[in-house]
Structure 1
Amino acid sequence: MSDNAYVTFFRGSSPYINAHRHKTFVVSLGGEALCSENFYRTIHDLAILHSLGIRLVLVHGARPQIDQRCSVAGIAAEFASQLRVTDSAAMECVREAVGAARFKIEAAFSMGLPNSPMHGAQLKVVGGNFVVARPVGVRDGTDFLHAGDVRRVDAHGINQQLQLGAIVLISPVGYSPSGESFNMSYADVAARVAIALEAEKLIMLAPSDQQLLDEQGQLRRSLSLEELSLAKAAADHSEQAPLLAAAYHALRNGVARIHWVDSEADGALLTELFTRDGAGTLMARDNSEIFRAATIEDVGGILELIGPLEEQGVLVRRSREALEREISQFSVVVHPEGMLIGCAALYPAGDGITAELAAVAVHPEFHRRGIASRLLQLLERDARQVGLQQLFVLTTQTAHWFREQGFIEAAIDDLPAEKKSLYNYQRNSKIYRKPL
């Protein structure tokens, strides 16, 4: 990457850094990822998230490691409904495999050599009995023995550690009040922890062969709750099934965003979280953009949107102070990931029946998606509701778009008196109006 490209990327990531700071992310990491060549790079990337102020809870799996130990011990693996039937001998293999996996993760977070990406990080990784388990029991005639479900998550205890700056590491073994230990699905544990913590995101790091593809074999970039339900049903007994079931449960129970990311792709986690296009599949209850009234917190995002257009002379310059005074006139469009990608303002004139449409802007990466048209429709609806009868706009370079939206050319004399007296003849803007 050239120096200029690096600077551009770093600047572009700053809104995401601000949005993610102090938020809680639960990350699920399957046992396959611990065997991947990308494992240590993934740990480095998680350390970067921590250094940016993100509160991290990491839930790891260990299925391949358990399979390997069972095989060495001559214990046949038995599964039903994607759950391991865990007798006493298999449970001993579970303890050994999960312990070894945990040690590997803790050791990776402890690296700090001068020539390593984690130099100076000094991360604190904390684990414990944060998950209370209960036995699965007998289902459809199968006794699952030492396989367990989540009974309760100690959200208060986890939050205490997060507030102290620790990364919380949770293994897929839970303990009952009677002191028994149970083997659990790490994906289900991750989902239930995310729900209990009211986490901002659940990030599911899954192998390359478990990525979500469309009918053409292309990565699905987003899934609504309804689409996730269909994908879960279609997965049936595949390796994706328990992950999809966990994602669906989390989304149904309050987790706002789930990111399904390739655990074997170098940098995919950072690309997913710090770029607009991402690198994985975003799951949300509602994947459409949000149109709402602007607040004072949106001033920075609006300035980023209109700044380039002001430089080009498309829009009239506004200072931050002026924008803060006028913020109640603005409406914004917010991407499902929380980024502000569009804005427009409506300034009622003194005559009580006319308003000026101004500062219409959409981020270049989201052009040709009909965002500006939908925003205009909402502004027109709001204008009609308060009794306005006509909109007008002054433009120098976007007259064709306003004509496409039903505006017709007008003259200076058609402007409200107060706007007519302020008309800038040097700018020589064209005037368009639209009856409501």
Structure 2
Amino acid sequence: MTDSTGKFLADRAESIRLVGWFRSAAPYINLFKNKLFVTSVSKKNFSSGNLARLIQDLSFLRAIGVQIILVFDPKDLLDEELDRRKHSLIFEQGVPIIDDKAAECFKAAIGMMRIELESLFSTKLPNTSMNFSNIKIISGNFVDAKPIGIHKGVNFCKTGDLRKIDVSSIKRALDLDAIVLISPLGFSATGELFFLNSEKLASDIASIMGANKLIFITDSLNNSRKSFSEIRELLTKTYEENKLSIIEKFPRLNYLFELANSACNNNVDRTHILPYEQDGEILLELFTRDGVGIMVSKNQIRNIRPAVPADINSILSLIYPFKNDGTLTKRDKVDIERNLSSYIVLDHDGQICGCACLNHYSEENVAEISCLIVRPDYQQKGEGSRLLKHVLEKAKRNNIKQIFALTTKAEHWFLEKGFIRGEKYVLPKGKIQTYEPSRNSLILIKSIDYQN
């Protein structure tokens, strides 16, 4: 193969990948149009190059119709100003005390970052996503602040908190197709200036505006992909269920999770926490199925729910490979339609990634768990355990005394979940009549615990 042929094939493969990406992203592009995203970004997180690339990505989102409020925090610029003026911040209860000298440092740092952001949004260089763009930035006194005041005898001086935002003015700016730029400061009714925590401000603004997404870009993940994966695994359950584990293992992140959880309980659909070190993090998070960050939502995105008629074809697709290799007994569309009320599904952002069925034998008051399937690319993530837990809770709600499963390959998985081996005689009459001896299925049983 010649070099030119190799280059042609490589270019063609890249083109095919690009086309595939656009096709897979198309539903999200349609979904995000006219939606409001509030993004919190700190200058400490970015080199100049990374910040420029993030601005290009935000400009792309604006170009496809996403409304954007950008809340910024000039952390590294503030540190430079404090060093230059030979001053340092004092913290009490984890909150900075901003005296007059520190306030001057904050004003200088905020001004520099605002100019840098406006400059980056104004770039129109060829061969970048900013070419032909006409992004407008609007900022102003949208935030009314109040002093934190004196706590336990400590005067926090110019450290403030949000009092209210000018919702109507922000909406008008967004309707002009502008990106609204919010500095981490606000003014009181007397005209005094107070400085606010940028991440809490972003969370508050997202809640008040009813944003569709709140996005934090953070360095609080310690650049550890292993830690990152572990956090994502913890959040297959809700934040509240795993709060203590997160506090213990990832104390630096817990504050963001508190803000994310609060936002999602107050009008925000979803909150995303992204690692700053990955180029294109915001596009990969928004336009790929699994993303690259951590997501907290009102209802966890991998939602377990009762199956509905629209799920039947997806359930059949899940069953098909396991039916073909003999792992599952044969089921057809009619079987699933007839027993649809017995099925639950694992719904990941509109895609069915798993299912399970609970068949009740009322005469003996026992139930069979069957058809417990998780799609291969979602295995090893605890999803099978979630489906089983959901089935057990359903059985408990229906006062079922015992469940059983027939399996040819998953014996040890069920044993690890508290099942014990059983014999054919423990099966209900209705199941014995349909039992297939040729499959030689193992029988596993579990009594329902009503003590917990």
Normalising to structure 2: TM-score of the pair? 0.67
Q: Is residue 101 of structure 2 the alignment partner of residue 89 of structure 1?
A: yes
Partner of 1:148: 160
Partner of 2:78: 66
Distance 1:328 1:375, change over 3 A: same
Task: Report the CA distance between 1:55 and its aligned residue.
Answer: 2.7
- Tell me the amino acid that sits aligned with residue 258 of structure 2: Y
Task: Report the CA distance between 1:372 and its aligned residue.
Answer: 6.7
Q: Is residue 173 of structure 2 the alignment partner of residue 158 of structure 1?
A: no
> How does 1:28-427 map onto structure 2 within 5 Å?
28-72=40-84, 74-81=85-92, 82-207=94-219, 210-211=220-221, 219-222=229-232, 223=234, 224-228=239-243, 231-232=246-247, 240=252, 244-253=254-263, 254=265, 255-284=268-297, 289-294=302-307, 331-335=344-348, 339-342=351-354, 362-367=374-379, 371=383
Query: Structure 2 CA distance, aligned partners of 1:382 and 1:233?
Result: 31
Pairs aligned (count): 405
Distance 1:17 1:102, change over 3 A: same
Partner of 1:350: none
> How does 1:11-26 map onto structure 2 within 5 Å?
11-26=23-38
Distance 1:127 1:358, change over 3 A: farther
Distance 1:68 1:213, change over 3 A: closer
Task: Report the CA distance between 1:248 and its aligned residue.
Answer: 0.4
Task: Report the CA distance between 1:246 and its aligned residue.
Answer: 4.5
Task: Report the CA distance between 1:363 and its aligned residue.
Answer: 3.8
- Tell me the amino acid that sits aligned with residue 220 of structure 1: E
Task: Report the CA distance between 1:380 and its aligned residue.
Answer: 10
Task: Report the CA distance between 1:229 and its aligned residue.
Answer: 5.6
Partner of 2:7: none
- Tell me the amino acid that sits aligned with residue 259 of structure 1: H
After superposition, give the CA deviation of every residue in 1:77-107 in whole Å (9 maximum; x if it has no partner). 2221444332333323322221221121122
Compare 119-128 and 361-370 and name the one that shifted more: 361-370
After superposition, give the CA deviation of every residue in 1:287-311 in whole Å (9 maximum; x if it has no partner). 5832223568x67xx7677669879
Distance 1:120 1:364, change over 3 A: farther
Distance 1:104 1:375, change over 3 A: same
After superposition, give the CA deviation of every residue in 1:356-404 in whole Å (9 maximum; x if it has no partner). x999975441146675787589789989999xxxxxxxxxxx99789x9
Secondary structure of the corresponding residue to residue 102 of structure 2? helix
Q: Which has the higher helix share?
A: 2
Query: Structure 1 CA distance, aligned partners of 2:358 and 2:30?
Result: 28
Distance 1:111 1:145, change over 3 A: same
Task: Report the CA distance between 1:41 and its aligned residue.
Answer: 0.9
Distance 1:44 1:339, change over 3 A: farther
2:274–2:294 contact (8 Å) kept in structure 1: yes
1:310–1:317 contact (8 Å) kept in structure 2: no
Secondary structure of the corresponding residue to residue 49 of structure 2? coil
Query: Structure 2 CA distance, aligned partners of 1:282 and 1:15?
Result: 19
- Tell me the amino acid that sits aligned with residue 204 of structure 2: R
1:219–1:280 contact (8 Å) kept in structure 2: no
For CA contacts below 8 A with separation 6 or more, give which structure has more relative contact order: 1
- Tell me the amino acid that sits aligned with residue 117 of structure 1: S
State the Cα RMSD in Å.
5.1
Secondary structure of the corresponding residue to residue 186 of structure 2? strand
1:213–1:219 contact (8 Å) kept in structure 2: no
Compare 182-191 and 361-370 and name the one that shifted more: 361-370
2:307–2:340 contact (8 Å) kept in structure 1: yes
Unpaired stretches in structure 2, ≥5 consecutive residues: 1-12, 325-329, 360-368, 399-406, 415-421, 425-432, 444-452
Query: Structure 1 CA distance, aligned partners of 2:118 and 2:340?
Result: 48
Distance 1:374 1:230, change over 3 A: closer
Normalising to structure 1: TM-score of the pair? 0.69
Query: Structure 1 CA distance, aligned partners of 2:392 and 2:202?
Result: 44
- Tell me the amino acid that sits aligned with residue 37 of structure 1: G
1:153–1:192 contact (8 Å) kept in structure 2: no
Query: Structure 2 CA distance, aligned partners of 1:375 and 1:232?
Result: 26
Distance 1:233 1:252, change over 3 A: farther
